[in-house]
Amino acid sequence: MSSKQDIIETIVVIEWEMFRSVESAAPASCQNSPESFRGIRASIYEEWPEPALESYLRDLIEAREEKRNLVSEKYARMDNLLPPLKENPLIEDIVRIEADWQEEIRNKYPMIYQSTCRTTDPADDGSNFSVYLRSELETYGDKTIELYHEHVKRAEANHDNLSLRMLERLVKKSGYEDLEDAEKQLRG
């Protein structure tokens, strides 16, 4: 397979193709902004290990060959239009860990959190971080979930908040020096 950056670019291109055709009860703001979509998604995948990226790319290619739109399936799950797509216990462990990471972001950078992150407050739809993440993870193949879970568990064991690192990358791409600079500027 190609370099990590090539894999990420291919993933984001396929996801964008799928994302453009999604009809959700609550359309995402970046549906009209391909550059915003690409920046956000690339910031996430730049944190993933290459084997997980390769596995997810295979999931996307297989889904496309089967005429399935994984992004539509994710949004249908978020809108409670489909039953759970997968019952993999690793999903709940990933959601638990990443929800804790979101709380850390909320506490350290409340202005950034408020303007860029999905809430961890209880909700039944995709506005809730856990619902969104669970819905996305259910579209992944079991191998991708396994590889991603290993990555997240390793980070948790090392007290490394991957969500914070992804957010740092995203604010830098948006022109800020770092998270502190973004938080300060958002405070006004």
Task: Supply the pLDDT for residue 56.
Answer: 98
Going residue by residue through the chain (188 aa), what tens digit of pLDDT does each one get? Answer: 469 999 999 999 999 999 988 875 555 556 667 888 898 899 999 999 999 999 999 999 999 999 999 999 998 998 889 999 999 999 999 999 999 999 999 999 999 888 775 555 554 545 678 888 999 999 999 999 999 999 999 999 999 999 999 999 989 988 999 999 999 999 98
Residue 20 CA: distances (Å) to CA of 32, 66, 72, 99, 155: 8, 18, 9, 27, 32
Task: Supply the pLDDT for residue 22.
Answer: 82
pLDDT averaged over every residue in the chain: 89
CB 126 within 8 A of CB 132: yes
What burial letters (b/e) apply to 133-144, b meaning 16+ CB within 10 Å? bbbbbbbbbeeb
CB 55 within 8 A of CB 144: yes
pLDDT, tens only, 67-78 = 999 999 998 998
Task: Supply the pLDDT for residue 46.
Answer: 95
Helix (H) or strand (E) holding 92: helix 89-108
DSSP β-bridge partners for residue 119: 128
What phi, psi does 128 have (nearest 5°)? Answer: -90, 130
Residue whose token pair is 């950056």: 5
C-alpha radius of gyration, the chain, whole number? 16
DSSP β-bridge partners for residue 128: 119
Which among 47, 188, 187 has a CA at the least distance from the CA of 109? 187
What is the CB neighbour count within 10 angstroms for residue 185?
Answer: 14
Task: Supply the pLDDT for residue 117.
Answer: 54
For the whole model, what pTM was predicted?
A: 0.88
All residues at 6 or more sequence positions from 15 whose CB lies less than 8 Å from its CB, including other chains? 37, 41, 60, 70, 71
